[in-house]
């Protein structure tokens, strides 16, 4: 039986789990592929052979060191030397994807990256292969488990953002430095990758607008519950009149939305297409064994005859101003006419109110409302004028609401 030699870069959370899985499933993989997978070596900062030596003795390189360099240089060098590359590195793919895809194409090798988005949930494969025959209009995702866990805990236990983050760190769902997760950048990188595959157009991380969850207050979640809404950090990539919008921001969902029930550290991605209506895939979005399972699946696919490398065939312009519905939270002086003034300002900008909750609090009143879908620039125009009202007791807070036909 021929051998298939695999060189691994990195032996951390995912790399360590990958090596264990590879050894555990070697016989099964041999039955599936007709090739015996063999570990050619594992390289870390402190241990293992030099990269060139590992490359020489490998047919496929698994990159699990993360970051940009040396991951980028080594992935390129491996493909130029005719080796397949499997990676889970979303930062690398969202910033240097075009260079990497072109190199894979030019050298007739495979570049696979299922583990880079939504862990073991097979979204990449579904977009690249299963839905290759569908025209995709929109991809919505909860693609960051850390923020989904934090928002779930804030809603479930009434915790503050800070307390929910500490809990996420205690349970290992958040890094000691959670910046990339909570500010939306990690989700933005994943949405850039999904948009690239869904729309066959190059999308760079810098083209994705993103907002995080640091500003979310527990009472936003409380009021939202009264309005029948739940909060998620949502990534969206969608076609709008022949152009493309890719964005990440917190959004309220009505209970019938397919992503509304995804809680804790789980991820989910919904793909919408006229041919298929919609598909929602969900499961563990991170973790060593989970991500390593996706990486090993990619290795097995690379051992079987090739899938084609993705091509950019339909360049799409990116849109900035999109239509959204909003939740708006105002603390105002409890005086006659304030609600009417707010309603008037909204109406002037073409923003109409869908539902309102009003509460009196000593000499203040709290107005919490949901407005109908409107161009974001119009809503923010109204918000700027509302923010300047003398009756306002604190800066207005707003969060998008995903309006769907689901009920
Ligand atoms: N952790 C997850 O749940 C998860 C989920 C999805 C995707 N990913 C992605 O998977 C990749 C790996 O993540 P991880 O969590 O396994 O990282 P990790 O635990 O920090 O491990 C990184 C490994 O890479 C090695 N390494 C780092 N820089 C190196 C360099 N310059 N030269 C040689 N070795 C180097 C480290 O070696 P030393 O030990 O010697 O420092 C360590 O063995 C990242 O791209 C990450 O975004 C992770």
User: For the segment 135-182, what is each residue's pLDDT rounded down to a tens digit?
Assistant: 999 999 999 999 999 999 999 998 999 999 999 999 989 888 999 999
- Per-residue pLDDT, 218: 86
The answer to whether 354 is a known catalytic residue is no
Cis peptide bond upstream of 70, omega within 30: yes
Residue 405 confidence class, pLDDT cut points 50, 70, 90: low
- Judge whether residue 404 has pLDDT over 80: no
Domain tally, the chain = 3
Count of other CB atoms within 10 angstroms of residue 256: 12
- Compute the distance from residue 10 Cα to the ligand 1 centre, in Å: 6
- The secondary structure of the chain in percent helix, strand, coil, rounded to multiples of 5, reads 40, 25, 35
- Please tell me whether residues 138 and 272 are part of one structural domain: yes
Which residue lies with its CA nearest to atom 32 of ligand 1? 45
- Asked which of 70, 95, 116 is the last residue of a domain, the reply is 116
Cβ < 6 A, ligand 1 pocket: 10-15, 43-46, 64-66, 70, 88-90, 115, 119, 286-287, 291
- Please tell me whether residues 271 and 153 are part of one structural domain: yes
Which tokens in the block code for residue 79? 């493909």
- Please tell me whether residues 23 and 105 are part of one structural domain: yes
- Please tell me whether residues 341 and 277 are part of one structural domain: no
Beta bridge partners of 358: 367
Yes or no: say if 378 and 350 are a contact pair by the CB < 8 Å rule: yes
- For residue 395, the domain's CATH number is 3.30.70.260
- Please tell me whether residues 111 and 155 are part of one structural domain: no
> How far apart, in whole angstroms, are the C-alpha atoms of residue 35 and residue 53?
22
Beta bridge partners of 299: none
- For residue 24, the domain's CATH number is 3.40.50.720
Q: Which pTM value belongs to this model?
A: 0.91
Which residue lies with its CA nearest to atom 28 of ligand 1? 65
Which tokens in the block code for residue 234? 């949502």
- Please tell me whether residues 359 and 380 are part of one structural domain: yes
- For residue 272, the domain's CATH number is 3.30.360.10
Looking at ligand 1, which atom is closest to the CA of residue 15? 16
- Per-residue pLDDT, 306: 58
Q: Among 7, 12, 298, which residue has the most ligand 1 atoms within 8 Å of its CB, making it the best to mutate?
A: 12
> How far apart, in whole angstroms, are the C-alpha atoms of residue 212 and residue 180?
9
Residues 6+ away with beta carbon under 8 Å from 380: none
- Asked which of 66, 96, 116 is the last residue of a domain, the reply is 116
On whether residue 291 sits in a domain, the answer given is: no
Residues 6+ away with beta carbon under 8 Å from 358: 339, 365, 366, 367, 368
Residue 313 confidence class, pLDDT cut points 50, 70, 90: low
Cα–Cα distances (Å) from 203 to 93, 224, 246, in that order, read 10, 33, 9
Domain that holds residue 105: 3-116
Looking at ligand 1, which atom is closest to the CA of residue 70? 31
Q: What is the mean pLDDT of residues 109-129?
A: 95
- Please tell me whether residues 250 and 140 are part of one structural domain: yes
- Per-residue pLDDT, 214: 92
On whether residue 213 sits in a domain, the answer given is: yes
Yes or no: say if 118 and 269 are a contact pair by the CB < 8 Å rule: yes
- Please tell me whether residues 41 and 92 are part of one structural domain: yes
H or E segment to which residue 32 belongs: helix 13-33
Count of other CB atoms within 10 angstroms of residue 108: 11
Q: Among 54, 65, 100, 284, which residue has the most ligand 1 atoms within 8 Å of its CB, making it the best to mutate?
A: 65
């Amino acid at each position: 039986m021929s051998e298939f030699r695999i060189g691994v870069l990195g032996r951390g959370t995912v790399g360590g789990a990958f090596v264990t899985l590879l050894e555990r499933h070697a016989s099964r993989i041999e039955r599936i592929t007709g090739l015996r997978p063999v570990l050619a070596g594992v390289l870390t900062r402190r241990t293992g052979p030099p990269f060139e030596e590992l490359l020489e003795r490998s047919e496929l390189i698994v990159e699990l060191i993360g970051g940009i360099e040396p991951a980028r240089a080594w992935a390129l060098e491996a493909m130029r030397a005719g080796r397949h590359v499997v990676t889970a590195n979303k930062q690398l793919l969202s910033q240097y994807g075009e260079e990497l895809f072109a190199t894979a194409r030019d050298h007739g090798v495979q570049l696979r990256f299922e583990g880079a988005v939504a862990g073991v949930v097979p979204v990449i494969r579904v977009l690249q292969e299963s839905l290759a025959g569908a025209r995709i209009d929109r991809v919505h995702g909860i693609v960051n488990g850390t923020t989904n866990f934090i928002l779930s805990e804030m809603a479930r236990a009434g915790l503050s953002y800070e307390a929910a983050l500490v809990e996420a760190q205690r349970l290992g769902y958040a890094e000691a430095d959670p910046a990339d997760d909570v500010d939306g950048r990690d989700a933005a990188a994943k949405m850039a990758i999904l948009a690239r595959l869904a729309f066959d157009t190059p999308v760079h991380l810098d083209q994705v607008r993103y907002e995080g969850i640091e500003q979310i207050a527990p009472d936003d979640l409380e009021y939202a519950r009264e309005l029948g809404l739940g909060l998620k950090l949502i990534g969206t990539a969608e076609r709008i009149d022949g152009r493309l919008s890719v964005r990440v921001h917190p959004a309220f969902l009505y209970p019938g939305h397919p992503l509304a029930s995804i809680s804790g550290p789980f991820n989910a991605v919904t793909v919408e297409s006229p041919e298929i209506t919609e598909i929602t895939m969900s499961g563990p979005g991170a973790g060593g064994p989970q991500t390593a399972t996706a990486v090993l699946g990619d290795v097995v696919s690379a051992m079987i005859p090739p899938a084609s490398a993705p091509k950019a065939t339909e360049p799409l312009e990116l849109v900035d101003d999109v239509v959204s519905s909003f939740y708006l939270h105002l603390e105002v002086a409890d005086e006659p006419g304030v609600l009417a003034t707010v309603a008037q300002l909204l109406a002037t900008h073409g923003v109409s109110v869908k539902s309102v909750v009003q509460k009196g609090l000593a000499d203040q009143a709290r107005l919490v409302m949901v407005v109908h879908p409107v161009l974001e620039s119009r809503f923010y125009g109204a918000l700027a004028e509302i923010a300047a009202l003398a009756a306002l007791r604190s800066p207005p807070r707003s969060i998008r609401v995903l309006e769907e036909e689901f009920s």
